[in-house]
Amino acid sequence: MSARADARFMARALALAAEGLGRTFPNPPVGAVFARGGRVVGEGFHRRAGAPHAEIEALRAAGGRVRGATLYVTLEPCAHHGRTPPCADALVGLGLRRVVVAMVDPNPRVRGRGIAKLRRAGIPVVVGPGADEARLLTAGYRSHVLRGRPLVTLKLATTLDGRIAAAGGDARWITGPTARRLAHGLRDVSDAVLVGAGTVRADDPRLTCRLPGGHHPVRIVLAGRALRLPARARVLARGGPPTWVIAPRGAPAARVAALRRRGVEVLLLPARRGRVPFAALVRLLGARDAVRVGGLAVAHVGPDLVLEGRFR
């Protein structure tokens, strides 16, 4: 096929991959398209960890019409056994004309092995079309497998004079409807959203995604050693998305136990001068397989400014 056709079908695969953002962690979002004779014969994307990978979803959708087809996939097919069998093995013997891969999987367990397996089976593999877009889609995954920490996105709104809240705390919004839709779009593609306990006390946010069909991220609250959180806070209510409260070690055992009885996961980390080091926080989130975290700027600074470090 021509480079123009490759770009068109890879663009479709990338659009499919984006459907999995915020839903597949710790796996990457991946899209796949089988094309033959200038037409799509099967397509799919990875929906969640443990579910079939994008290539298998597309293969099932194709219903046996893949002989002589080209597979477009946004990330190198896996070549190892995880929760599912290797996708590269499933592609061998199908009579594929070739495979076009946007980018090599940076995971040390894969990193070129899937491509090598396909080439050893006599299937031509082209790498590179759509690579820039694929790297953007997998930024969180790459951070997780290469650095052991999630991609952290800071959501920050300021007034023209450089403030993030009214001095008296009386202003509910300093942004408009468009900015708020973008904020909910960020939640939709994030594994978790993080705020400080001061924000919970002042604003009582739900931290859910209110877009139609949106994905609710895990809600993370950074609290001080005193664990001062309102008993009626909406993020602590049962029946909603999971809530994790992260606080310095030494928090009152009774308050920790009370939160845990409500189904809240309480995670205590070593503190430095009463604050949780940023490096320790992101290591913890990485160890718990968070890949993309959206952080809200702390608008209510006080004793619960418990995070120190730089976003980098």
Which residues, listed in sequence order, are joined to residue 20 by a DSSP beta bridge? none
Return the axis-axis angle of helices 3-18 and 54-62, rounded to nearest 10°. Answer: 110
pLDDT of residue 169: 63
Confirm whether 55 is a catalytic residue: yes
pLDDT of residue 307: 40
pLDDT of residue 306: 40
Among residues 55, 57, 76, 133, the one annotated as catalytic is 55
8 A C-beta contact, residue 29 and residue 46: yes
- Say if residue 67 is exposed, middle or buried (CB neighbours under 10 Å; 0-12, 13-18, 19+): exposed
Task: Tell me the per-residue pLDDT of 43-70, one tens digit each, with 9 for 90 and over.
Answer: 999 999 889 999 999 999 999 899 999 9
Contacts (Cβ under 8 Å, ≥6 apart) of 263? 238, 243
Q: pTM for the whole thing?
A: 0.83
Helix (H) or strand (E) holding 132, with range, is helix 131-137
Task: Tell me the per-residue pLDDT of 23-48, one tens digit each, with 9 for 90 and over.
Answer: 888 899 999 999 999 999 999 999 99
Task: Tell me the per-residue pLDDT of 249-280, one tens digit each, with 9 for 90 and over.
Answer: 999 999 999 999 999 999 999 988 878 888 89
Task: Tell me the per-residue pLDDT of 219-252, one tens digit each, with 9 for 90 and over.
Answer: 999 999 999 999 999 999 988 899 999 999 999 9
Task: Tell me the per-residue pLDDT of 127-163, one tens digit each, with 9 for 90 and over.
Answer: 999 999 999 999 999 999 999 999 988 888 877 887 7
Task: Tell me the per-residue pLDDT of 149-208, one tens digit each, with 9 for 90 and over.
Answer: 999 888 888 778 877 776 766 656 778 888 888 889 889 888 899 998 988 998 899 999
Measured distance CA(3)–CA(293) in Å, rounded: 36
